Structure 1
């Protein structure tokens, strides 16, 4: 495990009620209702929140990879993240798919950017070896 030498930011939230509750950040920028997946109740679920956080972070990592090559990401760069909640035996597990759209970038270069982003993105690092992840170029 790598020890953090310098903390750049700490996200702080308080969640009550679990999947039928609410979550709020300490600065109130995030203030959402939570609901179980497929329940039809208002609110987001943890899998959606994880997918949103990972895809946003992944785009940042793509930008760093592109910057090293002195190219700019297209304005239309997008990551469609899917996070599955599933079961194996009696345990719950996650799996994920990230489909990356880099319009106008040649496929070989786009794939190289995606691979580098996956090596450097903190969400990718946190999940590496822990969940099945599939990366795709749109």
Structure 2
């Protein structure tokens, strides 16, 4: 049974428009490198980065809370389009950078692993794309 279902609709693919069912998200899209002016336009990788960073940061904070730690964290997801030598197409990869205060570097690394095991985006991408994790306790 679904806990939550969100919907968005895209029209005209990467050079089109995407909107959420509640109209909260209304974005024009631009294909990278096609000569279009990308200013003021988004892309699917940017949207994926937003979702993954928010989900992962939430998972990280939940793991910290469960461990009795009070932390402040910031998660940045870098989503890249890469050439795929297997089929001469493209694929994505992600680098998650987490900055956290309130714990040592060793504790931060332990929480990072737990968050990566728990996060729904991490579960969805596991074994499908390269995800690089980097954490810095400040």
Kindly state the Cα deviation for residue 72 of structure 1 after the two structures are TM-superposed: 2.3
Structure 2: gaps of 5 or more residues = none
Distance 1:104 1:72, change over 3 A: closer
Aligned pairs (5 A) from 1:38-53: 38=33, 39-41=36-38, 42-53=40-51
* Number of positions where the alignment pairs a residue of Structure 1 with one of Structure 2: 131
TM-score by length of 2: 0.89
Aligned pairs (5 A) from 1:1-138: 6-38=1-33, 39-41=36-38, 42-74=40-72, 77-89=73-85, 90-138=88-136
Looking at structure 1, the residues matched to 78 and 15 of structure 2 have their Cα atoms a distance apart, in angstroms, of 21
Kindly state the Cα deviation for residue 86 of structure 1 after the two structures are TM-superposed: 1.2
SS in 2 for 1:102: strand
RMSD: 1.3
Residues 53-73 of structure 1: CA deviation (Å, up to 9, x unaligned): 000000110111011112222
Kindly state the Cα deviation for residue 92 of structure 1 after the two structures are TM-superposed: 1.5
Structure 1: gaps of 5 or more residues = 1-5
Report runs of 4+ in structure 1 exceeding 6 Å deviation.
none
